[in-house]
Structure 1
């Protein structure tokens, strides 16, 4: 709230005049709108929790129940007992961690090269790389599958990890972030005798924590939820099934009418992503803002 004081004339005293700022006038409506939007967004997650903790009888009972009438944990314990859920969880974790580590490393190195290194055809190569984003994944899946078979990787986790070793969007995001780093900082390190790898490791990498958070979250979420490609290359080895594949091919077939068990396993599946986003949300917002993504 701004305070405006008028100049006083001789023999008179003028009280300060308060003027309400535009931002303060709309604070309460904006706060109410933000709260309503948050409730709408979080309601599906809340409904998943309610369904996962409700008995089968309560789910089919008439009326709308916003809280479990009879609290139960059998929707979590029964699928874990009937199916190798923890094996699926372990496979998903292993693949997601490996893909995230390799992909983020390749995207950072490629983005730095396109942003800070000078070589012939750099812009043309970058535009050609961006043009591949218009090609649907389904259009290259057959060729990618044949290539996987020729390499002898069918039914192996490397068939899922290697094709995801770099992403065009990640390279673009890294390049946009590195363009904001002053060239004078890199030139000063080069004058002191530092090589490209030393400059990248000691100067550039410590400055890109927000970018690391963005790339890590996007890659981990994409790979954790991946279904089509892992199903194609891992279908011959049930021991390597991930959570999405196991839930659709095995669990959903037996528990097609048991919505409580399905929601319980779905809640188990998305829990790591929620925890990961809560831990890195501050860096995630900073990374998107500094990379020029509006």
Structure 2
């Protein structure tokens, strides 16, 4: 009976099978791996097509002529590309003003949210004070309350402070989020405690530890918090509709209301307007997706 030939291999490298049965098993294993990779690739490609088709259809409708839209002959790609829908929307509404309002409100909310959430997350992660766990649980419990429950009380609050009808009526109520605080706490707990203890032994205070150690190591977390708050503030509709009363202070989601007619809708103009609303968020996600994924992975969120 023949015995497999064993060859000397360097330490740490797998032995190459030399017998016929071993080679056959290795070939079958490689074949299964290639088939599995191909199946996963096809499944991922199909899922991407399903998720991206609404965005693609938005682009098609926005670039189609009005005659093609009204004639019911719309195809997967328009016969003639046109910017008439975009031009009509820009001529009829102050789109640039609404876009600037959305940018100003969203950036301010995002900066405030990142600052408050990082500080609160560091406090809950490394500062020990009486009632910290109870306060953290109370903070998390607010995530179970829909915003519609507190709108009346919030409206009375901003009206009593004299902020109704201004940017700050939209910005200040969104300056922190319970989920952002939770995410920041989980991320900061993953930072090696030895670094923080070594800094404190060298005489560093809480602010020095936070600014010199925690912040430089929290770039993925900052990207996640910034993008989440920016996306939420950019798409917020209900509260800005209540808190803003002047037309020149409206944001893009509120502006979409003006494109809804009483007896019909301008689908081409609506899609052109919606494309302007969606495009900045898609671009920001594509640019910062690496930090976005790292922040979730290191925070223990799956």
- TM-score interval, normalised by the smaller of the two chains: over 0.9
User: For each residue in 1:86-117, what CA deviation from the matched residue of structure 2 results, as whole angstroms up to 9, or x when unmatched?
Assistant: 00000000000000000110000000100111
Aligned to 2:295: 287
Alignment of 1:1-294 (within 5 A): 6-8=4-6, 14=19, 17=23, 18-19=26-27, 20-21=29-30, 23-63=33-73, 65-234=75-244, 236-248=245-257, 250-253=258-261, 256-294=264-302
Paired residue secondary structure (2:64)? coil
Q: Deviation per CA, 1:179-228, whole angstroms, max 9, x where unpaired?
A: 11111110001111111111111111111111111111110000000010
Normalized against structure 1, the TM-score is what?
A: 0.92
Matched-pair contact (CA < 8 Å) for 2:105–2:170? yes
Inter-CA distance 115–80: structure 2 relative to 1 (3 Å threshold): same
- 3-state secondary structure, aligned to 1:26: helix
Runs of 4+ in 1 over 4 A off after TM superposition: 13-16
Which residues of structure 1 form unaligned runs of 5+? none
Describe the shift of the 1:255–1:184 C-alpha distance in structure 2 as closer, same or farther (beyond 3 A). Answer: farther
What CA distance in whole angstroms lies between the structure 2 residues aligned with 1:176 and 1:272? 29
1:112–1:178 CA contact under 8 A, matched in 2: yes
| Greater shift in the superposed pair: 236-245 or 62-71 | 62-71
Aligned to 2:11: none
- Contact (CA 8 Å) 1:76, 1:264: kept in 2 or not? yes
Q: CA deviation at 1:62?
A: 4.0
Q: Given the two structures, how large is their TM-score scaled by the length of structure 2?
A: 0.90
Aligned pair count?
Answer: 285
| Structure 2 Cα separation of the partners of residues 6 and 273 of structure 1 | 60
Residues 23 and 185 (structure 1), Cα distance of their counterparts in 2 relative to 1, 3 Å cut: farther
Q: For residues 8 and 247 of structure 1, do their structure 2 counterparts lie closer, same or farther at Cα, with a shift above 3 Å needed?
A: closer
Q: How has the CA–CA distance of structure 1 residues 181 and 8 changed in structure 2, closer, same or farther, with 3 Å as cutoff?
A: closer
Give the C-alpha shift of residue 174 in structure 1.
Answer: 0.4
CA RMSD of aligned residues (A): 1.9
